[in-house]
Every structure is written in C-alpha cells, then in structure tokens.
Structure 1
C-alpha cells in the first residue's frame, strides 16, 4: 500500500478515528474474534452473500484489513434519503439475504463471541447484532452491503430483525427519534415495511414487538456497562441524549404500544 494516499473514514462510536482507507483496502482495529469473523465472512461469500467486506489481512498489531465497499453511509443526524420506504424495505431484504447465507455456515463454538448485544436465548446462527445506519452501505437509495461485524454472536434471526428495527424504524418514542432523525415517521407503518422486506413469517411477526423490548433492554445494559467503565464516548452520548430518563421513556413507549405494533404487523 506504499504510495497510496491514506484517507481517514468516519468510524462508528467504537472505532471513531481508527478506520483508514488505502485505495481498495480498509484498515481498522481488529475485534478479539477477528480470526473467526474472517473465516465467517469468507464462508458467507461462498454461500452467495457478496454484500460484506472480504478479509485481506489480519496483522499482529491488533489491526485488520478488509476490502473497501463503495457507497453512502448515513451518519447522525440521519439524512432524509435513508428514511424512504424504499431504503427501509431494502434493509429488510439485505438482512434476509445475510441470514439465508449465515444459516448454512456452522458457528465456531470454540470462539468466545461477544455478549454485548447478543441474543440472551442464544442460537445456531451468527447474527450481526448491530445493523445500525452507520453499518449499512447504500447505493442508488438501496441497502447494498453490511459492514462492521464486530459484535456478531450466535442468536435467533428474529433477534437481528429486532435490533435492526430499533435503528431503522426507529423504535423510539417521538421525542427521542426527533433528536437523531431529520424526518418524522409512522412507527407502525415502517415496522411493517421492514418486516415485509425481510419476509418475516406471521408467527415471528407476533413475537417481534416483545423481542424489540428485550433488545432495547440489552442495548441499555450495553450503554450502562460502557458508562460504568468510564468510556468517554458513551458517557458524553448519554448526557447529550437525555440520560437514563430517555431510556425509561423509550421502554415505557414500547410497552404502551405493543398491541398496536402487533396489530400493524399481523393484520
């Protein structure tokens, strides 16, 4: 990569400032599970899922290299183009493609997969667990690829759908959503669009609202752990976004509207 201009890319909250691009290659901090993740990403490609980075190199310096995927990635405050029904449906379609390939790839049970955002019930398929806007690459208004598999862990496909819904519907009370999203949204309609794009089965549609509540509790615990350890990124984000009162408000809003979400998904 000598002679190529280095470009700093906007990483997510956990990798801010640490992601570099060298031409067709991205260099970034490697997660503890990098070796197993590289094998998993190669296996996904062998099973037809070409919408993820291809591993290039895993160094001994704690960094990894992956292929760069061109396109647009939404960063907060999230732009209106990522809130279109077409964009939302495409996220569901892309997640379904990932799961269909991942279902055919055995999970390496010798690996200590991260529990941060993992499905408490576990599972036999490796879920992404962090399909937030910053981890979806768009082209021509549609989701084209997924990046950043650092928090991948075994779980149920429905758990991944619930986690994705939290960010993309978004499953937030109106005040919380307005702080991050530039366009207002009808949560019921958008939840149905995501489920339709994913082709979610009727039984799982009925279960989804409760799993979203569970996923929200897991996300809160994730933030609480980071704050307790003094992580300045999460300490600042918690303060800027309304503290624990915001999390209480979100959870209460989800519970209060559970029946409405279930009806929107199943009727």
Structure 2
C-alpha cells in the first residue's frame, strides 16, 4: 500500500525518523510518555505547529502527525536569517512554554536532566534544523524528545545561540542582509528575539546561560559519540565547547 512506504526525513541527527503517509515514525524510549503528555498539552492550547501523538506502531515506534513545510536550515541565507522568522521562532517558543507550565511539577520521566529554577518544559533543541517553514511562515517545530523542565532562559539562550547566531557553524552569514557589521547585527537580533519572546534579561546573562547550556550539550554529545562511535558527534561537542568559551570571553558583547 502507498501509505506504508517509508521515506527518511531530515532535520535532527540523533535518531532515524521516517514518514509513512501523513504520519511520522520515531524510536521510543522511557521518556516517550512524558513527551506525548507534553504534545497533548500543546494541542489543548491550540498550538498547531507541534505534532500530535497518535500512539505506537507494530514495530514499537511512536506515531506523530506529519507537519507541513521544509526544514528552515535548508533555506538560502537571505531567508534563513530573516528577522521575521527570528521573531516567529521566539513567539512560538513563548507559546509552547506557556502551555507547558502545569507539567513542571508532574511525575514524569524526561530524557534530559531537570534544570532549576524549573519554570516551564524546555524543548532543549529549538533551532533551524528543528523548525519548519512554508511560504515565509513558521509551520512547525519537531524533535521534542529532548524536552525537560527548566528555566525559560535555558531554552531561549539556545535559540539565541542558533538564530542570533553565535554558533561557529552558522551558514551563509556573509551573504545575509544586515551582517556587514556582524557585532551590531547580532546585538539587534538579540533585542528582537527577547522582545518577541517577552523576557527581560541582560545580554551578558543570556550569554552565560548559553555557555552553560553548550557545556551540558557537549557532555551529552560526548556520551552519544561513545555509544554510537560517530566521529561527527565528537566534532560537534568540541565546537560547543569552543563556542561556550567565546561566549564566556565576551566575544559577542
């Protein structure tokens, strides 16, 4: 049957993901019930940009609704680094956080560690490779399996790292409008991001949280490299540590 054809999907790089008809199939783990509870909370709050959980298939994979759009990371620089998409991403993250507050104290098992002060359920990986876009509009955020309780700024700092951006591997900045003066462009984009989310935090504080987030991510990625033998994970972890050091050194202030 046509709807049984499995098509590999791109985006994140942690676990295999396939499309089957109008659904997505992913590997499950002890954290899956918590993630499905979170996705149902998003649905109850009318967040159409997050997938809906549809159970587990005969191979033990979770079934999620398929979301429209292409991965933001694949856009040409002029679109990828548009201020409109930056604002949309920050506003969507705020809506997701507001929908998650009742789950912070719930007895749920998450894949990632809890970080205090836990205010919301953090996605922990909102970035262009996990965001979907169609016709200039943000249509989805995927890969929720790394979610866990934490402070708002923990999630927002990683979004800033990827979309202001501060990441060493951010593509095409030299070709993007407005980046001729990169320090000024980053300061302006951070202002836009914080305003769209609605959080009052000093840049230096956000940079410090981003550095902490990257160090935690590097440790997690090292562990994944040891489990899988994937050399690219070692390389990613090294980059996260270099970027954390630059943030701590005030390279973007």
TM-score (norm 1): 0.80
Specify which of 36, 42, 53 is matched with residue 38 of structure 1.
36
Instruction: Judge conservation of contact 1:48–1:101 (CA < 8 Å) in 2.
Output: no
Cα deviation for residue 59 of structure 1 reads: 3.6
The 1:248–1:20 alpha-carbon spacing in structure 2 relative to 1, beyond 3 Å, is closer
The 1:259–1:40 alpha-carbon spacing in structure 2 relative to 1, beyond 3 Å, is closer
1:197 and 2:196 aligned: yes
The 1:34–1:60 alpha-carbon spacing in structure 2 relative to 1, beyond 3 Å, is farther
The 1:119–1:216 alpha-carbon spacing in structure 2 relative to 1, beyond 3 Å, is farther
1:238 and 2:231 aligned: no
The 1:66–1:145 alpha-carbon spacing in structure 2 relative to 1, beyond 3 Å, is same
Report which stretch shifted further, 64-73 or 19-28.
19-28
CA distance, structure 2, for counterparts of residue 205 and residue 195 of structure 1 = 10
Specify which of 90, 108, 113 is matched with residue 111 of structure 1.
108
What is the aligned partner in structure 2 of residue 263 from structure 1? none
Instruction: Judge conservation of contact 1:33–1:113 (CA < 8 Å) in 2.
Output: yes
- What is the SS of the residue equivalent to 1:51? coil
1:183 and 2:173 aligned: yes
Specify which of 208, 211, 226 is matched with residue 209 of structure 2.
211
Instruction: Judge conservation of contact 1:29–1:64 (CA < 8 Å) in 2.
Output: yes
Specify which of 232, 237, 246 is matched with residue 253 of structure 1.
246
CA distance, structure 2, for counterparts of residue 211 and residue 251 of structure 1 = 10
1:29 and 2:27 aligned: yes
Cα deviation for residue 23 of structure 1 reads: 2.1
CA distance, structure 2, for counterparts of residue 168 and residue 33 of structure 1 = 27
CA distance, structure 1, for counterparts of residue 44 and residue 227 of structure 2 = 41
- What is the SS of the residue equivalent to 1:93? helix
Deviation string, structure 1 residues 39-86 (Cα, Å, up to 9, x no partner): 22112211232220011122463311110001010347x631211111
Cα deviation for residue 195 of structure 1 reads: 1.3
- What is the SS of the residue equivalent to 2:70? coil
RMSD over aligned CA atoms reads 2.5
CA distance, structure 2, for counterparts of residue 122 and residue 62 of structure 1 = 34
CA distance, structure 2, for counterparts of residue 259 and residue 71 of structure 1 = 32
Deviation string, structure 1 residues 11-45 (Cα, Å, up to 9, x no partner): 52112xx3221221111212321122212211221
What is the aligned partner in structure 2 of residue 79 from structure 1? 76
CA distance, structure 2, for counterparts of residue 31 and residue 124 of structure 1 = 24
Instruction: Judge conservation of contact 2:34–2:110 (CA < 8 Å) in 1.
Output: no
What is the aligned partner in structure 1 of residue 9 from structure 2? 9
The 1:247–1:56 alpha-carbon spacing in structure 2 relative to 1, beyond 3 Å, is closer
Report which stretch shifted further, 161-170 or 148-157.
161-170
TM-score (norm 2): 0.84
